[in-house]
Each structure stands twice: as structure tokens, then as C-alpha cells.
Chain A
Amino acid sequence: MDGERRMRNEEILAVKNLAAGYGSRHILKDISFSVGQGEMIGLIGANGAGKSTLLKTLRGILPLLEGKILLKGRDIYALPARKFAREVAYLQQHVEVAFGYTAREIVMAGRYPYLRWWERENAADEEIVDACMEYAGVSELAGQTMYAISGGQRQRVLLAKVLAQQTPILFLDEPATGLDVFYQEEIFRFCRELCAAGKTVLMVVHELSLAARFCSRLLLVGQGHILADGTADKVLTAENLTQAYATDVQVVKNPLTGHTEVFTMPEKSDRRKDRLLGIILDGTLSAGTAANQAELRKYGSA
């Protein structure tokens, strides 16, 4: 199915033998993949595996150490900054907004790549900004300062800003992390809607179950490489995940919902751990509590 999809859709982004990292330290090596229009790709992997590094490198924010990144066949480093920003929008992980900018002022920043340096935003820009805010469900926050709004709303304002850039491609670095489950699902649904409309989304995701449900394709990043690439069924296997997360992982298909769910396996009884816990509990770890620990472990494995 994965192969079919790529045949059907036009290739919009191609990564060839990419190496990336900080300074001379390579975190990612020899990464190659291509992205077709309309795909919703989830970048998954353990903390520190290099998912964000990959996304930043693709956006040209971190230097490309080796290889090539082609956007619609053109090297991204040959693209002028403003033109690149009209092709790819990027939502970073933590956005700190200094001073009391209002939500609308932030969304308006998305129009920057369309203006020559002396131009001001015109009525068309205003209209686009209003439409994006309405689509993201944050119209009523327009005049509020970014300090005054909650995490979930804030993330939707930032999504509206990314949409105001009117780019065919969106790079989103953990757009849903730290939000309530409902907000999380909403953001994923939102992205799927955009992909159905023809946009291409590449997003870093932590919640594997959500990634499995909503993304059309997953890239599993680990050990400096892409360990697996394809649909959720293909990528989210116990074998792949155990390798990527360096811990025993179990993958279960929930018969009720039909969704893939991922669990870590509990560690086996560990004398060293018990001893450390004893120190933490100031030597009060009695036989009784040890029994409780054993009990807890059992529940963990359910």
C-alpha cells in the first residue's frame, strides 16, 4: 500500500544520504527517503534519537553535514530564504513569545514570506489570517496576548500561523506534546484533514498509539538511521520498537477499537533496583514492601 501511495503521488521531497548533527558530531547518518504529496508522516523514535534534528536539518535550520535535500527536485540550499518559507512551514517545539504580542499578531507573522521588505500586509493578507484563525478555531482569541492563553489554544494559534504561510509542506515538531488527550487527538485530526486536502505533513510524534491511528506513514528513527519506514502495521512491530527504544516492547491490536497499542514490558526482578530503592526509602524497605513491589510489577505486566 505504501508503494502504491508513492507511485500515485508526486514526489515532493527527497532526502539522499543525509548526515546531520551538531558540529562534527553526526547524530544521523546515511538517511534516505522520499515524501509524496498528501502524505502524513510521523517521525517516531526514542528521546534523543534525532527526530527533531532531522526535521530541523530538513528545514535548513541545522547545517546539512552530508547528502542532499531536494524540494520538488531543487536543492534546498539553492532556494532563497523567502521562497523556501513559501514552500515549507515549520512549527518548532517550544515557541517563546517575548513581549505581549496578540494571537493575531503572531498568526500575521506567517505572511512574512509573501511581502517584499518595504510592503505592509494588505487586505488579502488580513483575510487569509482571519480564515486560518477561524479554521484553527481561535478567532475569538485574536486580540488576546499569547501569555494569556492556555497551552492547547496556544498550539492552535501557532498552527494557524503555520497555515497562514500557505505552504504545501508542513514540518511540525511535536505539535501535540504536553496537551490533554482531547487536544492531542484534535491536532492529529486537524493534520489529517489538511493532508486529505493535499498538504504534506511531516511531524515528530511521541505518542505511538496516536501516530498509528492518524499517520499515513511512519519513519522510525533510531541508532542514527531510519530503522523502519512504512505503514503503522509494518513499522510498529515488537521487533522494530525493541530495537529503537532499547527496551522490551509489546504491540497489541486493541480488539475493541481496532487501534494499535504499544506497551513496554516490565523489567524482571532486579536485586540492584531493590537495593537502590532501599537507599531511597532510607533503609525502611521491609519484606512487606518488597512483596508490594513484586505485586506492582505483576500489574505492570498485565
Chain B
Amino acid sequence: MKHKRYQSGFFLVIMVIVFFAVSLLSLSWGQIDIPFMHVLAAFAHELGLPILANVTVTPEQQAVLWHIRMPRTIVGLMVGAGLGASGAVMQGIFSNPLADPGIIGVSSGAAVGAVLAIALGLSEISMFYMPVFAFLGSLLAVTLTVSLAMRHGKIPVMTLLLSGVVVGMLLGAVTAAILTVINEQKLQQYLFWTIGGLDYRRWEHVFLGIGPILGGIGIMLLMARHLNILVLGDIEARAVGMPVGTYRLFLLAVASMTTATGVCISGNIGFVGLVVPHMMRMLVGPDHRQLLPASVLAGGAFLVFCDTVGRIIVPPLEVRVGIMTAFLGTPYFLYLLRRTRRLER
């Protein structure tokens, strides 16, 4: 057992290094190339550190770094980390490796909110309308799903899954209905939102999301040990004295809120919440005390990496991150699925 602990500690250290390396890459690469040294120097100068004083950062580089790449990278790290953690928590709550926050209606609710904001023309008035509508839509959808599934104060997992599917279909129909009556330009705008992206993310987006996302991640990390029990199933968890309903509802709320915040500042980014925790489970095992921090780090690093690759793969165009996550994640996921022994029955 000691051996295993050491391994997962070691693994987390590697993940932290990867996390920062990918961030540096994302700050450095792009249409305007900023060498690593210049990125580091810009930080050092800003913080008043007496290192790298001989490296001069041009004002253009400075501007690109602070106003474009920094907020973009931070939003990516934040959203990716939030999606990774929420995905791991959802899979824990449902004891099912195929669960992700989308399964209880987070994304379909956000879509309805977004399309409403577009249809009403609000998205042209202020950039904040769409995120706020998407956020409210998700919360509404999750509330609807949970209250449909609730019986005598309990939420049976199977019923919750089914009501999630039903609510998803209903909201999908609502979205489709609105889409049929809006004009082409608005349709384009919606399509753009559906494929999540990190382009044009500013500091406003960072400030909008950082509270709920970091708070949510913090709470989820604190609850890691309880998730280990919840995963064992209703009866098993109750037999060791866990008030299952309360914990399940609470974790559901936290994971939904974190995902909804992510969706509202960067659009719908699939795949991260589903695949990152799954990958991490194969690498560090199912103990949420290792799985959750690993998913947080890997989620952030993965999303930013995808974004960076998407930025430079077909210049001068950008491939949106929602597309890249699927393209880059699938092969690696398949590779892990074939290689791993830990999930085999």
C-alpha cells in the first residue's frame, strides 16, 4: 500500500508540472509568437523579481500576454478543472463511469438559456446576458430533473438518470422549437455557442467564473472521502452511517453549479467531464482523494492544451476547443481503454 501511495503522490507532482508547462505553452504559442523566456520575464517584471532583467518584453508582447492570452488561459484552466472535478463527482454519485453533468440536464438547460438570450436579441445588448441565461437555464434544468426524481425525500439513482434523459429531451425540443423561428444570423450565433470556445475570453470572464468554480472545486475536494462511500451504493453507504440523500443532493448541487458556471463562460464543452476523470481513474485508481485532484489538474491542462493546439494547427484559422477536445481525447481514451487492467471485470 505504501508503494501505491508514493506512486499517486508522485503522479500528482507530475500533473502539477504538466499543468504549469501547458499554461506556459498556451501563453507562448499563437499567431504572435512569444518565446518562453519572454513570458517568464514578463511575469518576473510584473512581480518586481530581480531575474531575467536582461530580457526585454515588447509592448506588443506585453499587450497580447495580458489582455488576450492570460485571461484566455486562465478561463481554460478554470473551466477544464471545474469540468474534470464535476465529472468525477457525477460518476461517483451515479457509481457509473458514463455519467457526466450533462446527464442531469446541465447542458441542455444551458442551451435553452443561451438560445433564449439570442432569440430575444439580448446577446447583442451585453455580452453578459448569454452566460447569465445559460447559468439560470442549467440550474432550472437540474432542479427540474431532481424534483422529478425525488420520492419521499429520496433520490433513487436510476430514476434520476431517467428523469435526466426526459428533461434533456424536453429541453432539446424547446431549443429546437426556438431555433426554427430565429433568423440565420442568430442561428449562426447559437451554433457558435454550442461548440464551446475560449476565443475572445477577457478578464471579465475570469472574474465572472472564478468564484463559483474555485469554490465548487474546493468543496468537492473536501468531500472526496465521502464520495468513496457514496460510490459503494445506497445501502452500503447507509450501513456505515452516511445520510445518503443529503450528501447526494449537496454534491449534485455543487457539481451542477460548477459545470453551469463553466458552460456559461465558455459555451458547451463536451468530453472533458466524461473522459478526464475516466482517464485519471485508470491512472491513479478510484480513490477520490487522489482522483479528484488529478481530475482538476488534468481537466485544466487538457482543455488548455486542446485550445493551444486548436490555435496553431491550421493558421490563420482557429479550431474551437470544443472540437479539439473530442479530436484529441478520443484516441488517447481508446488507447487507455485497451491498455488498462484496472477496470477489467
Contacts and interface: CB of A to CB of B under 8 A. Distances in A.
B329 interface: no
Contact of A113 (B241, B281, B345): B241
Interface of B: 1, 4, 95-97, 222, 225-226, 228-229, 231-233, 235-236, 238-243, 281, 285-287, 342-345
Contact of B236 (A60, A95, A113, A142): A95
A110 B240 contact: yes
A29 to B, nearest CB: 22
Nearest to B244: A81
A48 interface: no
Contacts of A90: 235, 239
Contacts of B241: 81-86, 112-113
B95 to A, nearest CB: 4
A260 interface: no
Given A95-B232, A96-B233, A147-B344, 20 more contacts: A59-B239, A61-B238, A81-B241, A82-B241, A83-B241, A90-B239, A92-B239, A97-B232, A98-B232, A98-B233, A100-B285, A100-B342, A101-B286, A105-B287, A109-B236, A112-B240, A112-B242, A117-B226, A142-B1, A145-B342
Contacts of A104: 1
A84 B243 CA distance: 12
A165 interface: yes
7 contacts: A81-B241, A92-B239, A98-B233, A99-B281, A101-B228, A113-B241, A165-B240
- Most A Cβ at <10 Å: residue of B4, B236, B242: B236
A143 B229 contact: no
Given A90-B239, A100-B342, A102-B285, A109 B1 contact: no
A85 B240 CA distance: 5
Contacts of B236: 92, 95, 109
Given A100-B286, A143-B1, A147-B344, A109 B232 contact: yes
A60 B244 CA distance: 13
A81 B242 contact: yes
B154 to A, nearest CB: 11
Interface string A237-275: 000000000000000000000000000000000000000
Given A118-B222, A142-B1, A145-B342, A99 B231 contact: yes
A147 B342 CA distance: 9
B99 to A, nearest CB: 11
Contact of A109 (B4, B235, B240, B344): B240
A61 B235 contact: yes
Given A61-B238, A142-B1, A147 B345 contact: yes
A120 interface: yes
A101 B232 CA distance: 9
A81 B243 contact: yes
Given A90-B239, A99-B281, A109 B229 contact: yes
A226 interface: no
A96 B235 CA distance: 11
Nearest to B246: A81
B225 A113 contact: no
A44 interface: no
A101 B96 CA distance: 13
B110 to A, nearest CB: 28
B97 A99 contact: yes
A91 B222 CA distance: 28
A60 B239 CA distance: 9
A109 B228 contact: yes
A204 interface: no
Contacts of B281: 99-100
A201 interface: no
Contacts of B243: 81
Contacts of B229: 109, 112
Nearest to B240: A112
A86 B242 CA distance: 12
A143 B231 CA distance: 19
Nearest to A148: B344
B295 to A, nearest CB: 13
Contacts of B228: 101, 105, 109
Nearest to A110: B240
A146 B286 CA distance: 12
Interface string A68-111: 00000000000001111110011110011111111011100110
Contacts of A98: 95-97, 231-233
A12 B226 CA distance: 30
Contacts of A165: 240
A106 B237 CA distance: 11
